[in-house]
Amino acid sequence: MNDVQLGGTRIIPVVALPDAGLALDLGQALWAGGIRTIEITLRTPAALAAIATLAEQSDLLVGAGTVLTAEQVELAVEAGAKYILSPGFSSTVVRRCQEVGVPVIPGIATATELQAALEAGVTTVKFFPAEQLGGPAGIRALSGPFGQVKFVPTGGVSLANLAGYLAEPAVLAVGASWLAAPDLLASGDFAEITRRSTAAVEVAAR
Ligand SMILES: O=C[C@H](O)COP(=O)(O)O
Ligand SMILES: CC(=O)C(=O)O
C-alpha cells in the first residue's frame, strides 16, 4: 500500500500552484532538472486541474498534498493523483485511501501519532514540520522504536541541509518547496526551477 515509487530521486517538490496554466511548464522544468515526482498541494483552487494536467501530459509521478478529508482523497484520485499526502494523521483520510487503493503518506510529529499511523496500517509517514521537530536527529530518535517506518521529512528542508536528511537510512525521500518556490512561479522563472532541481538531484546522487 505504501510502497510509493517516489521517482528514484528521493526529492519531492511541494507546490502550491496559483494557476493550473503553469502546470506543464513547471512539470517540464522539474523533469529537465532530473526530478521525477511532484506533490501538488490542495491549498489552491488550481490544484485539481494541475494534477489532472500533469497526470495526463507529463511523466511525473503526481501526488496530491494537504489532503485533509475523505472527499479530497476521492477528488485527487479522480484527477489522477497516484499518491496522497497529508500534513497530519487522520484515520478517516487513511481509511479512504486504503478503500480506494491509493498509497498514502500521512504526516506525523510525535511517537503517539506514529503509533496511530502504524495501527492504521501505514509504514511510510511524512515527518512534518521536519526542521522544527529536530531534523535528521529527530528522525533517528523515532527510528529506534519504530525501525520499520520510512520517513518523508518536509518543512524547512533546503539545499543546505538536504544531504543530512538523505543520509538517514530511514528517510525514503524529502519534501520541499524551495525548488518551485512561490516567487519563481509568480515570475515564471522556470529556468531557476530547473537549476534548483539539478542542484538538489546532484546532492541526492552523492
Ligand atoms: O507547508 C510547508 C511545505 O509543505 C513544505 O515546507 P517548506 O516550505 O519549508 O519546504
Ligand atoms: C505539509 C505538507 O507538505 C502537506 O500539506 O501535505
Q: What is the band of 7 on the pLDDT scale with cuts at 50, 70, 90?
A: low
The matching CATH number, chosen from 3.40.50.620, 3.90.550.10, 3.20.20.70, 3.30.1540.20, for 11-204 is: 3.20.20.70
Residue 2: pLDDT over 80: no
Distance CA 92, CA 90 (A): 5
Q: What angle do CA 9, 135, 44 make, to 5 degrees?
A: 65
Measured by CA distance, the residue closest to atom 7 of ligand 1 is 155
> What's the DSSP call for residue 10?
-
CB under 6 Å to ligand 2: residues?
Answer: 14, 41, 65-66, 85-87, 128, 154, 175
Question: What pLDDT digit, counting tens, does each position of 45-71 carry?
Answer: 999 999 999 999 999 999 999 999 999
| Catalytic sites, residue numbers | 39, 126
CA-nearest of 142, 159, 158, 160 to 150 is 142
Which of 86, 154, 159, 183 to mutate for ligand 1's pocket (most ligand atoms within 8 Å of CB)? 154
CB under 6 Å to ligand 1: residues?
Answer: 14, 154-157, 175-178
Question: What pLDDT digit, counting tens, does each position of 172-191 carry?
Answer: 999 999 999 999 999 999 99
Q: What is the band of 4 on the pLDDT scale with cuts at 50, 70, 90?
A: low
Distance CA 105, CA 126 (A): 6
Residue 30: pLDDT over 70: yes
Kindly report the average pLDDT of the chain as a whole number: 96
ipTM: 0.94
Q: What is the band of 8 on the pLDDT scale with cuts at 50, 70, 90?
A: confident
Tell me the DSSP string of 133-180: TTHHHHHHHHHTT-TT-EEEEBSS--TTTHHHHHTSTTB--EEESSTT
Distance CA 75, CA 69 (A): 10
Distance CA 126, CA 109 (A): 9
In 33-110, where does DSSP find H-type helix?
47-57, 70-79, 91-100
Considering every ligand atom, which ligand is closest to the CA of 11?
Answer: 1
- Domain spans in the chain, listed from the N-terminal domain onward: 11-204
**Per-residue confidence (pLDDT) for residue 5, from 0 to 100:** 67
Residue 164: pLDDT over 90: yes
Distance CA 93, CA 40 (A): 17
Residue 112: pLDDT over 90: yes
C-alpha cell at 71: 472527499
